[in-house]
């Protein structure tokens, strides 16, 4: 390699090493964005319900594939609809209750053909026996088998519309909640009652989960809908309000109470009042909301409940809202008597500086009433005790107390201060393990500008980083200078040796030949 070329390369290296960008923190590599392939005719359809988000776009894509020429594609699309997640049920409801692509006639022809093929195609000679046999088969038929038969038999408009309804019915059954039941009861009377028997079987299997959806429409303007709901409730043994609330799951009970409040059924008032002091929070809150929907229509039953429970007399001029508020306060006072006793003990200990005793009382309170409405008032005691533990060197206990205080004080101004302290804790622990997380400290300062430990540590790390960068630049520049000096020395010595070679004696002259 030529010495001149080596010098040029060395100069470029020195320039690179001296550049500040050389020691800058490397940026994050840009993430690649990969678009999901759109399924087309003949392509394999991935179950769309497995996607991270299942929205209108994914649902419409699945519905479109119900008419695909490939039977496997149609079945995959139906499975995606069946697996619609609970949060997408409202989107499915809109598509199930709008006018289908085909009318009841074409759908009935497809359904009848599929049912006959499932039953072997044999008809009874006796008309009455044939009718009874048909009703029995419909009551025992499998929804999955019926859907599979429709998907396997074709992809006409009637097939597509019927496949959408059947897959939607199965999705609502799997959802097993009031949202799914609400859709089912309307499908039952749509399309001239084409799928009434199928939906009735599904509602029977859902049992308690279907009661609230049926109660919601028992006073609907649609006569067919009212008739179907009342008849199905009667079949389930849930026709009377006192029977409708006899469900096992607390959420189902809460949904039933809310349903009675929505339709303002006066027969349900006394039943709802009996749950105003329920142990389960969701049931209690549902009953209080529901009874509030009746207004002064519930005035007399509420007055009777207040008089019987408290022994006092509610004023005759009290509106229902005032009586309800007084009754709820009386219920809560008795139910939370022990809780408020623990609250008073904890506050007294906190004010007296006995932080350990205060936190012990508050822990017992939260064990009895996890959703205590005044729990935000307890957070300061946990913060003070955390500071005390930190001063004593017990960092794990201090952090645990701060984390609990953050949960208690969520949504209050104290929460941002606690979160700032937790970020400082995490940054300090990481630094002890050799990791300097400047972002945590910056966020801590943003949450609480008065957080002196976070601010001081952030400044120290910033200064250390700048000093380290300066030292690296100096070392790089010094090393490059040494390399350059070495190369110059080599070049100088080479030229000197070349000069000494020029001063040497010239070679002897060639002798001419002598003639004799």
Cα separation, 454 vs 452, whole angstroms: 5
Q: Are the CB atoms for 225 and 189 separated by under 8 Å?
A: yes
Q: Which pLDDT tens digit goes with each residue over 291-336?
A: 999 999 999 999 999 999 999 999 889 999 999 999 999 998 888 8
Quick check: is 501 in a domain? no
What pLDDT sits at residue 440? 82
Same domain, 370 and 266: no
Q: In this structure, is residue 133 part of a structural domain? A: no
Tell me how far CA of residue 501 lies from CA of 489, 492, 505, 510, in angstroms. 19, 15, 9, 21
* Alpha carbon distances (Å) from 510 to 266, 345, 406, 440, 504: 139, 124, 105, 88, 18
Give the pLDDT of residue 431: 82
- Cα–Cα separations (whole angstroms), residue 316 to 206, 298, 330: 45, 13, 18
In a domain, 496, yes or no: no
Tell whether 317 and 393 lie within a shared domain. no
Give the pLDDT confidence of 163-175 residue by residue, as tens digits. Answer: 999 999 999 998 8
- CA atoms of 255 and 420, how far apart (whole Å): 40
Helical residues (DSSP H) of 336-451, grouped into ranges: 337-351, 355-368, 379-391, 395-408, 413-432, 438-447
Please check whether residues 195 and 108 belong to one and the same domain: yes
Flag residues of the chain having pLDDT under 50. Answer: 1-51, 121-125, 127-128, 130-131, 134
Structure confidence at residue 55 (pLDDT): 82
**Rounded to 5 degrees, what are φ and ψ at 117?**
-70, -35
Q: Are residues 376 and 417 in the same domain?
A: no
Domain that holds residue 168: 48-118+138-240
Q: Which of 371, 298, 364, 359 is nearest to 332 (CA)?
A: 371
Q: Do 394 and 386 contact (CB within 8 A), yes or no?
A: no
The token pair that represents 64 in the structure block: 């479109």
| Residue 478 DSSP code | H
Same domain, 218 and 165: yes
Residues 70 and 196 in one domain: yes
Q: Are 81 and 219 in the same domain?
A: yes
Evaluate whether residue 323 is within a structural domain: yes
pTM for this entry = 0.63
Q: Which of 213, 240, 267 is the last residue of a domain?
A: 240
Domain membership of residue 509 (yes or no) is no
Total domains present in the chain: 4
Indicate if 68 and 164 belong to the same structural domain. yes
> Which two tokens mark 83?
């697996």
């Amino acid at each position: 390699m030529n010495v001149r070329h080596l010098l040029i390369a060395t100069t470029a290296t020195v320039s690179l090493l001296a550049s500040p960008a050389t020691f800058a923190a490397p940026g994050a590599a840009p993430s690649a964005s990969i678009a999901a392939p759109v399924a087309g005719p003949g392509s394999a359809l991935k179950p769309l319900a497995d996607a991270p988000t299942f929205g209108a776009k994914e649902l419409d894509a699945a519905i479109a594939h119900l008419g695909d020429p490939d039977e496997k594609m149609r079945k995959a699309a139906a499975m995606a609809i069946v697996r619609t997640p609970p949060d997408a049920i409202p989107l499915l409801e809109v598509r199930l209750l709008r006018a289908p692509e085909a009318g009841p006639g074409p759908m009935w022809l497809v359904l009848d053909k599929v049912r006959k093929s499932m039953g072997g195609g044999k008809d009874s000679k006796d008309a009455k026996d044939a009718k009874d046999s048909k009703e029995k088969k419909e009551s025992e038929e499998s929804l999955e088998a019926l859907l599979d038969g429709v998907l396997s038999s074709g992809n006409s408009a009637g097939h597509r519309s019927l496949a959408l309804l059947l897959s939607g019915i199965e999705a609502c059954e799997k959802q097993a909640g009031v949202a799914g039941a609400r859709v089912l009861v309307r499908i039952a009377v749509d399309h001239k009652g084409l799928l009434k028997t199928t939906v009735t079987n599904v509602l029977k299997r859902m049992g308690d989960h279907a009661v609230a959806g049926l109660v919601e429409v028992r006073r609907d303007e649609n006569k067919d809908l009212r008739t179907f709901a009342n008849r199905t409730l009667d079949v389930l043994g849930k026709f009377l309000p006192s029977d409708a609330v006899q469900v096992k799951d607390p959420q189902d009970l809460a949904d039933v109470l809310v349903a009675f409040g929505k339709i303002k059924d006066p027969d349900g008032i006394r039943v709802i009042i009996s749950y105003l002091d329920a142990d389960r929070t969701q049931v209690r809150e549902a009953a209080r909301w529901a009874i509030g929907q009746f207004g002064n229509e519930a005035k007399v039953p509420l007055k009777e409940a207040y008089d019987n429970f408290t022994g006092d007399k509610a004023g005759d001029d009290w509106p229902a809202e005032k009586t309800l508020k007084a009754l709820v306060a009386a219920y809560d006072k008795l139910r939370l008597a022990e809780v408020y006793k623990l609250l008073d003990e904890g506050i007294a200990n906190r004010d007296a500086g006995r932080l350990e005793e205060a936190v012990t009382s508050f822990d017992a309170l939260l064990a009895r009433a996890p959703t205590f409405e005044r729990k935000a008032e307890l957070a300061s005691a946990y913060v003070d005790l955390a500071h005390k533990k930190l001063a004593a060197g017990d960092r794990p206990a201090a952090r645990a107390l701060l984390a609990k205080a953050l949960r208690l004080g969520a949504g209050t101004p104290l929460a941002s201060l606690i979160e700032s302290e937790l970020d400082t804790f995490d940054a300090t622990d990481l630094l002890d393990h050799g990791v300097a997380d400047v972002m945590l400290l910056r966020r801590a300062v943003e949450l609480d500008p008065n957080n002196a430990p976070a601010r001081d540590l952030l400044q120290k790390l910033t200064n250390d980083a700048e000093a380290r960068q300066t030292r690296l630049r100096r070392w790089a520049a010094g090393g490059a200078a040494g390399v350059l000096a070495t190369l110059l020395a080599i070049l100088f010595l080479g030229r000197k040796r070349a000069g000494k070679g020029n001063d040497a004696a010239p070679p002897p002259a060639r002798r001419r030949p002598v003639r004799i």
